Amino acid sequence: MLYEMGLDAALEELTKTFRRDYKLKCVFHTDGEPKFIDKNVSILLYRAILELLCNTVKHANAKQIVVETLSLGDGMQIIVSDDGVGLDPRIISGSKRSKGFGLFGIRELMRDLGGLIEAEATTKGSRIVLYVPMENSRKQ
């Protein structure tokens, strides 16, 4: 689906799968704008979102996860938020590495793509924002 329909459609299907398999409210929102992201970058972003969703299910005790995609003039932003127990501030800052791929791996991936990751724990859960600049995108 990722190759044929694009990143938005693949992420929407992924959230449906998590909703069905884990019996939690997992929703997808998009701004409806086309995301002209290179297919290789789309694969990496998809895997990063899959990792974030898996980590939320494993560790956050969340009842709701929201995945949002936004097309920005100079790139693309993906936001994953949940209503779980939040993240360890040391993992957010990068001073403590989690056991798996986790935020450390996603942080490295985003750096390699010239992008950014912002992670924050709130009293209402966690919010992870991934940003990929347009230079790593191409019009199809």
β partners of residue 120: 127
Q: Name the CA dihedral angle for 97, 12, 3, 46, rounded to a multiple of 10 degrees.
A: 0
pLDDT of residue 138: 46
> What are 70-124's pLDDT values in tens digits?
999 889 999 999 999 877 655 555 555 555 557 888 989 999 999 999 988 877 8
- What is the tens place of the pLDDT at every residue in 28-68? 999 998 887 888 999 999 999 999 999 899 888 999 999 99
Cα(80)–Cα(112) distance, integer angstroms:
20
Say whether pLDDT at 136 is over 70: no
Find out whether 104 and 128 touch, Cβ atoms under 8 Å: no
Domains and their CATH numbers in the chain? 2-136 (3.30.565.10)
Higher pLDDT: 25 or 98? It is: 25
